[in-house]
Amino acid sequence: MIAKLQCVVLDCADPVGLSRFYRALLGGVVNRPDPRWSLDDSWATLHTEGLVLAFQRVENHRPPRWPDPARPQQFHLDLEVADLDRAQEEVLALGASLLDESDEQRSWRVFADPAGHPFCLVRH
């Protein structure tokens, strides 16, 4: 095992509004204090039993239109790791691609799986 699922992140125009929608469906706590994230107008969370959903503002968000491949589903996984450099080596060896190496001091890095879906490795 390389990583632990930290949260599922959905792109949207209104992070707090969407987190409240999912709270009404799933229960849980919107924007519970958590040292893993900074909460602001561009990021909201919903802590449910056993799972955290996060909502990330995307400027000019274009919602998916299922099953239209021109407007695909939009989300990414945040995967928690103890050693970011080691985990990077391991996921690259499995066929992932590094998408964002702009700041190696950050606590996360962005990759794509072999099919092109983005995911983040996040230092624990």
β 51-57/4-12 pair status: parallel
Strands 118-123 and 75-81: parallel
CATH number for the domain harbouring residue 55: 3.10.180.10
Q: What is the pLDDT along the chain (124 residues), one digit of tens a residue?
A: 999 999 999 999 999 999 999 999 999 999 999 998 888 999 999 999 989 999 999 999 998 888 898 988 888 999 999 999 999 999 999 999 999 876 667 889 999 998 788 999 999 8
Give the range of the structural domain holding residue 55, as residue numbers without chain letter. Answer: 4-123
Q: Cis bond leading into 67, ω under 30°? A: yes
Please state, in angstroms and rounded to a whole number, the distance separating the CA atoms of residues 124 and 121: 9
Q: Which tokens sit at 11?
A: 């792109």
Q: Write down the pTM of the prediction.
A: 0.82
Tokens encoding 28: 């849980």
Please tell me the total count of domains within the chain.
1
